[in-house]
Structure 1
Amino acid sequence: MRKRSGGWNNTTYIVESGGRRAVLRVYDTHRDRGKIAFEHAVLQKLAAYDLPFKIPVPIVTVIGDTLVQLKEGNGKFACMFNYIEGNSPAEQDSGFYPSFGEAAGILSAVLAETDPGLPPVYRPYYGLAASYPLCSREAVNGLYANPPEFLLALVPELKVLVEAYKNIADSLDELRGLPHQLVHGDLNPSNLLVDTENSAQVVALLDFEFCTYDVRAMEPAVILSGMLGHVEEQRIIRSFWRGFSSRITLSRAELQSIPLLMLLRKVDVFLHFLTRYWEGTDEAVVLQEQVKLLAADVTQLSGGTAWLEEILLSGNG
């Protein structure tokens, strides 16, 4: 077993035995069998499609299950997936975005037709209050009014995030009327693999842990939100959108909602890491770093998105 670096929510190992390889995942942040069962049901349904890229396929145990509960480690769940050949994109590489867009569009179209046969456990992004019960408006306002010592130097950044949280909370109802379907919900360069010989070609989409029913436009919004601040931001967004929109046509209302959904993603990540800090899952330094990064992105989104809307409404980028 070789432990892989990276990842906030799980511990991952490469397992080798008898010339075979697999990926072992240990779920570190929850003990909810239902969440994993839904994820695996989606993956097993997707495995029946002839997709032009690979997805993880759960390996079944000798008793026919796809997960086990460990006797050690406080009863954490673990599972194994087939090993997929490929490389994580290099941080400085941007040539894979057209392929990424097309792959994400294909996945979105297929997920729209997929019925895992189980109720989802994760709530849609706009269900902030139910998803993060610790993060009431009063609690988040209290964090800003009386920040812990390690956040004292980040009070301006905290203000940006708290204001964004309050503003987005007042806009959530308008999202409920948009088209809904299954979404991956966490697609980004860390959750894909590119070809070992051709780094511009995406060969796998990974980590379906947060797959749930949500606004269809949330899928590209999550991805686009991760491109903010990139040195080639507008170019890679155009490249991604060219690939995505070649596979999926969103309504004008959906396209116009994407900047708001991108802001929702940033607020959701803030509440996610704030919850992890309050629950004792993460050290203070993790929340400190996230506050810096997220505030910068929210400031950019708040500064105007006319350029982004022009790209989205142009259709082919």
Structure 2
Amino acid sequence: MLKREGHKSINSIVSEGWPEWNGELRKQPGGWNNTTYVVEKEGQRAVLRIYDTHRDRHKIEFEHAVLQKLGTMSLPFQVPSPILTSAGESLVQLEDYDGKFACLCTYIEGDSPSEGNSSFYESFGKAAGTLSVVLADVHPELPTAYLPYYELGQSYPLCTRGTIRKLYLNPPEPFIDLTEELKILCTTFENIEESLEGLKRLPHQLVHGDLNASNLLVATVDHRQVAALLDFEFCTYDLRAMEPAVILSGLLGHTEEDAVIRDFWWGYSRQVRLSSDEIKAIPMLILLRKMDVFLHFLTRYLEGTDEADVLRTQVKRLSVEVPRLAGDTDWLLGILLEDLSSGKE
């Protein structure tokens, strides 16, 4: 464990773990799971990442093992590359930061997609499809750290059927006004829980598991082109079809929903040809993704990681998206199955 005495600044994480990178740090806009800083020294940059939501070394080591294998391949986009510490490791543990882990990765040139930019989705589809093809042949020697999405019970042991039901039958004080919204989500959870067993027969492989617009960079000179895929923290062995399902889950409700889904699917389906059974399972997998998000934030609330307002925000959003998905199933499958029915390549 990296020993840090007193109350040193965040800079000392870099100076002690990667002394050759000791320079100026700039905090970046953060997500739910990590805090990141750009490190600048003598015109060169790297990215410091502090893992905020878990203290599991094995999870990070598996992520880094995947990235190191991808780093040896010629890809049409970039992925993060861990920089080894002076001790030859890809991460350090921070005693003064409650035992959190940190790593330093190469800096990748590119821009986060702007909110109004919808021009990159075909490129995103191609990149996601290419990654899927490559990950099918990546087999790290370490065991996976995360279970497949369909293992909800094992992934979220605090979220038992009884706990879920009690949540809407007798909601805690901060959620009394969200009884109907909670009922929608809890009833959906109970319904899909009985359908998960049938998914296990579909093809499995290594998947990123969390691809979305916040986990990619577009090229600075051309915002239509994806330059990098980021944040492989949740990479695991899962259904092959789960990868596009996670992405499509985030595209439903987009202001240009029809266009971006068609663009993404055009790019993706030219790289990966899913079977008819896999495609027909995608609406259920999207619903599974929605439930996973709900249980993720419910667990964070039950554990005391998040305040009630965080879960409230997710409940309000998901309770609108889940019923809408049921009405979009035929339309969505029409797009996804179009190539198969027409025989287009």
Whether TM-score is above 0.5 comes out as yes
Measured in 1, the distance between the counterparts of 2:256 and 2:172 equals: 35
Counterparts of 1:244-259 in structure 2, within 5 Å, are 244-259=268-283
Q: Which has the larger radius of gyration?
A: 2
Which residue identity is paired with 1:64? G
Q: Which has the higher contact order (CA 8 A, sep 6+)?
A: 1
TM-score by length of 1: 0.98
CA distance in 2, matches of 1:191, 1:119: 24
Specify the SS of the correspondent of 1:126. coil
Q: 1:226 aligns with which of 243, 250, 275?
A: 250
Identity across the alignment (%)? 62
Task: Quote the residue 1:154 is aligned against.
Answer: 178
| One-letter amino acid of the structure 1 residue matched with residue 44 of structure 2 | R
2:87 counterpart SS class = coil
In structure 1, the gaps of 5 or more residues are none
Instruction: Pick which of 212-221 and 296-305 moved more.
Output: 296-305
Provide the rounded CA distance (Å) in 2 between the counterparts of 1:16 and 1:152: 48
Which stretch shows the higher mean deviation, 125-134 or 156-165? Answer: 156-165
| Aligned equivalent of 1:28 | 52
The structure 2 residue matched to 1:11, chosen from 24, 30, 35, is 35
Distance 2:41 2:170 in 1: 53
SS of the residue corresponding to residue 300 of structure 1 reads: helix
Matches of residues 105-144 of structure 1 in structure 2 within 5 Å? Answer: 105-144=129-168
Q: Secondary structure at the match of 1:15?
A: strand
CA drift of 1:6 comes to 2.7
For the residues of structure 1 that align with 2:324 and 2:258, how far apart are their CA atoms?
13
Pair 1:205-2:251 in alignment: no
- Could you tell me which of 175, 199, 205 is aligned with 1:175? 199
> 2:323 corresponds to which residue?
299
Shift of 1:228: 1.3
CA distance in 1, matches of 2:217, 2:294: 26
How far residue 292 of structure 1 moved from its aligned partner, in angstroms, is 0.9
Encode CA deviations 1:101-153: one digit per residue, 9 max, x unaligned.
00000000000011111100100000100000000000011111111222222
Deviation at 1:297, TM superposition (A): 1.1
**Residue identity matched to 1:284:** A
Work out the CA distance in 1 between the residues paired with 2:314 and 2:42: 42
Gaps of 5+ in 2: 1-24
Q: CA separation in 1, counterparts of 2:229 and 2:34?
A: 17
The corresponding residue for 1:100 is 124
Q: Partners in 2 of 1:244 and 1:304 — Cα distance?
A: 20
Aligned CA distance change for structure 1 residues 117 and 128 (closer, same or farther; 3 Å): same
Give me the whole-angstrom Cα distance separating, in 2, the residues matched to 1:85 and 1:132. Answer: 36
Contact 2:217–2:227 under 8 Å retained in 1: yes
1:186 aligns with 2:229: no
Question: What is the CA distance between 1:201 and its match in structure 2?
Answer: 0.5
What is the CA–CA distance in structure 1 between the aligned matches of 2:270 and 2:178, rounded to whole Å? 42
